[in-house]
Structure 1
Amino acid sequence: MLAKPPSNRGMVVLDRTKFGASVPLMMAKLQHPSLIGRLGKECPSDLLDTRGISRVIKITEQDRGILLNPDIKSKAMLSETAREMLGDSEVSPYTLELDYNYWSTEEILRSILPSELADVPTGFTVVGHIAHMNLRDQYLPYKHVIGQVILDKNPSIKTVVNKLDSIHSVYRTFDMEVIAGEDGNFEVEQLESNCRFRFDFRKVYWNSRLHTEHDRLVSLFEPGQSVCDPFAGVGPFAVPAGKKNVLVFASDLNPFSYEAMVNNVNINKVGQFVHPFNIDAREFIRGSTKRLLEFQAKYPTLTPPRKKVSRSKSASPPQPDIEVPKYFSHFVMNLPDSAIEFLDAFRGLYTGIEEAKDFPLPTIHVHCFHKHSPLEKEPPIEVVESDLAERCSRALGFTVHRENMKFHDVRKVAPTKEMYCISFQLPKEVAFA
């Protein structure tokens, strides 16, 4: 770093003019433009090398100079190679003027926030054109200046919002306030898994940090399988799965999520394979087998869409029709705050369905949180897995041993809160209970 930005402790309204600084350097006047490349290649340590600053200075229309390493205070301090190249060229003082645009988000905020606030809140999640922050209480007096700096330093961001409360349990939404940028423009478009998603960020649940988990689970689904997604949101699992020719019955109780999911199915042209519903998750799970059997009786096969090819290539042969299964291979339970509580809905999944005795048992993927007290050490993974297995067994009304489950650590949500995905085959005793 050439210099630190001027201290502006306690600034709550951003004044960009307060961030000017002068840096004394030395400049070598160049006898010929070709020296720029030669010096950069053979004498890099002699030259200024800092982000965002060009070391080549225009002196006149014909003359150019080059800025030297800040540690070099005279021509005599240059390397022998550099002195030979420059010959009798003049080396003279030069004052480099820095302004607000030079410094990074962290550098600016560190110069503004009180020194007792050791951490600088530069982290945010990007959703379309929105930067979503979750500021702790001690930073709230500076929220607008923090938001404005984030906005200034990220050209693709148009709006910065701050989360106001925890996620509402029913629709998984949260209240937010605009702390910088455009107010009222919450309609976003997000690219993920080679799919486009459009939705109103205020009214639905979306977490860009889960894109790896979306891709991981979708990679487990095979073309021609059927997947049930009772907490589908706007379709981050369902739509990419549909692109793989996986039949997905996807539901979300939030009418805004359902509406966005219908739109996303159309945008991504997966309507043949992804079928949205607006039904309570417990009811959706209980009726899932019957719903699929009715669909299979009406549509025994599905025709995959033809893939587009360029004019220079010959058209690929059409893909064969896909037979619709009578059973679901996977259930995705992506509601980590309470998905385990819905496992009771699987009791009797196949009860009363004569042909179900020949169905393979589905794999359940249930997302959940595990928390521990901040006064205690983080528990060993064996303890965590045993606790999660016990919670699932309690909800199912049947013991599923930890050895028969797979545990995937999705992400750390907070220092004492981890998100997991537990995958296990639904026990026969539960399916036919």
Structure 2
Amino acid sequence: MFNKSPIPPIFFKKDLNALVRFTSTVLTPVIWFRQKSTRAISLANQSPISPPVNREMRALDRSFFKKQITVIAAVFQDPTFLSKFTRHAKNDYLQLSGVNHIINLPLENGETTKAVLLRHDIDNLNDVPSKVSKKSLEILQEAKALLTTHTLSLDYNHWRADEILHAILPECLHHEIPTGFTTVGHIAHLNVRNEYLPYKNLIGEVIMDKNPRIRTVVNKLDSIDSKFRTFSMEVLAGENLFQVEQNESNCKFQFDFRKVYWNSRLHTEHGRLINQFKPGSAVCDVFSGVGPFAIPAGKNRVFVFANDLNPESYKALMCNITLNKTSSFVNAFNLDGAQFIKISPHLLLDYANKEKFIELPIPKVHRTSHNKDGGKLLANPVSMAIPKVFDHYVMNLPGIAIDFLTAFRGLYLDERLSVMTKEEGFQFPIIHVHCFHKATLENRNPSTEEAILSLKERISQSLGYDIPISALSTHYVRKVAPTKDMYCVSFRLPREVAFATLV
């Protein structure tokens, strides 16, 4: 094939000061090389190829973002040298996202040949000997490589979202371009700052273009409502489609994102608590939402009583129980949180006394399992006793959850419940209360110890009992805002609170 090529080979002479003249009939008629001492150039130090700039753009014009760059293509007459070069010259061949460094180079006779594109900062044939590494140069010399120029055409699809937005937005807004977002199903959820609002639709379109799974981009318009934890939103790009399906903890969740609360950033926290729930135990999820704690726990054969005041959350929770086949373990309620806490021990006790146990699906028997007479073996039915007391309470409503701790006062005063506390092995439930700690004007950078002490005082006030700080297990969840952190404080319900006399 190479014998038919009109391109003559390029020879590098050993004499470093020698000038070698050769002819290329493809692109460049006459080219001169001066061979010099070489040095390796790290890709990390190379400047990326930036897109064309238009800071006056207000409606996204994708056709504007076109750019042509000249690179050098190396053709190896012996294909084994092509493989050798790509193995040993990683710092010298083209490494641009979405662009293959090995191409089919067209020849004048209509055929094509494989070629390796060199780094994008090498755009002149005369610069090759001085810019590639010593090892790369040796391979090119040994292979008697043939070099020529090649034009790469880049378009809108080549650049990342942040690169496109850098080319559109004013330079004064480059410090914190809003390319980060939370994904909920097919929706990208942004919190666009005021200074970026004139460009919000541009930002939305670019983000949707650069993330193929995103079909809708929304911007949060106001703070989260404290009652149902929902917020107003506007569509920046894509469809007005808010019914989503979200996968988490090997479960599927379906809901209308406008009408319920969901925070994908809490998936690690969901998993952390779920892993503490033992199969066969009972958990009371006071502010369950659509079920990110309840459904996976139910799949793990944990009995969950899940409650949410929002009718839309309750409706989605019921749907997700069915969708994930957890109806044997998850029961849903639509009550006020304080009311639910107060009646929860009675709900579980009545349920356990009535049902006593549940039968689990019979495991599949291996087809080759037979008894000694040749008959197939049948698995025995499996049942699980329903517990009469809760092991855990989950209170994931960080804005006001601490206030609901007052509902635990006197929770076990009822004789039916107090009798159970005398049984051997009885333990009061562990309460996991999620809460925020905000910096104050007096203390803008509180330490972890100061935050824990503040949370301890607030919890004690709601419980009506000065709980020792040693009884608290505090877990830092995440930073919600520069001066606002989210924690989960876990503690066992104190006997003094469980039997507190109600005024």
TM over 0.5: yes
Q: Which amino acid aligns with 2:447?
A: P
Alpha-carbon displacement from aligned partner over 1:41-79 (angstroms, at most 9, x marks no partner): 132233112221112232234323221123443343343
2:129 maps to 1:76: yes
Among 262, 281, 287, the alignment partner of 1:231 is 287
The correspondence of residues 34-433 of structure 1 with structure 2, limited to 5 A, is: 34-60=80-106, 61-72=111-122, 73-74=124-125, 75-77=128-130, 78=132, 79-87=136-144, 89-117=145-173, 118-183=175-240, 185-307=241-363, 317=379, 320-354=382-416, 355-358=419-422, 359-373=426-440, 376-433=443-500
Amino acid at match of 1:133: L
Q: Could you say if the C-alpha distance between residues 10 and 414 of structure 1 is closer, same or farther in structure 2, counting changes exceeding 3 Å?
A: farther
- Checking the alignment, whether the CA contact within 8 Å between 1:307 and 1:316 is kept in structure 2 is no
Q: CA deviation at 1:400?
A: 0.8
Contact 2:365–2:379 (Cα < 8 Å) also in 1: no
CA distance 1:190–1:32, shift in 2 (3 Å): same
Larger radius of gyration: 2
* 8 Å contact kept, 1:2–1:23: no
- Asked if 2 retains the 8 angstrom alpha-carbon contact of 1:361 and 1:428, the reply is yes
Contact 2:357/2:386 (<8 A) preserved: yes
Identity of aligned residues (%): 49
In the alignment, the residues of structure 2 paired with residue 5 and residue 130 of structure 1 have an alpha-carbon distance, to the nearest angstrom, of: 27
Identify the residue that residue 50 of structure 2 maps to in structure 1. Answer: 4
Question: Structure 2 residue aligned with 1:29, among 52, 75, 92?
Answer: 75
Q: CA shift at 1:293, angstroms?
A: 1.1
Residue deviations 1:65-118 (CA, integer Å, cap 9, x gap): 22112344334334332322441x432222222111111111111111111111
Unaligned runs of 5+ residues in structure 2 are 1-46, 371-376
| Kept in 1: contact 2:444–2:483 (CA 8 A) | no
* Segment drifting more, 174-183 vs 8-17: 8-17
How far off its partner does 1:140 sit? 0.9
Distance 1:308 1:9, change over 3 A: farther
Answer with 345-354 or 189-198: which moved more. Answer: 345-354
Give the deviation of 1:377 after TM superposition.
4.0
Letter in 1 for 2:383: D
1:162-216 deviation line (CA, Å, top 9, x unaligned): 1111111111111111100111x11111111011111111110000110110110
Say if 2:305 and 2:331, in contact at 8 Å, map to a contact too. Answer: yes
Equivalent residue of 1:223, what SS?
Answer: coil
- With normalisation by structure 1, the TM-score equals 0.94
TM-score for the superposition, normalised by structure 2? 0.82
Contact kept, 8 Å, 2:359 with 2:384, in 1: the verdict is yes
Question: What's 2:16 paired with?
Answer: none
Count of matched residue pairs: 431
Aligned residue identity for 2:129: A
Aligned partner of 2:201: which letter? H
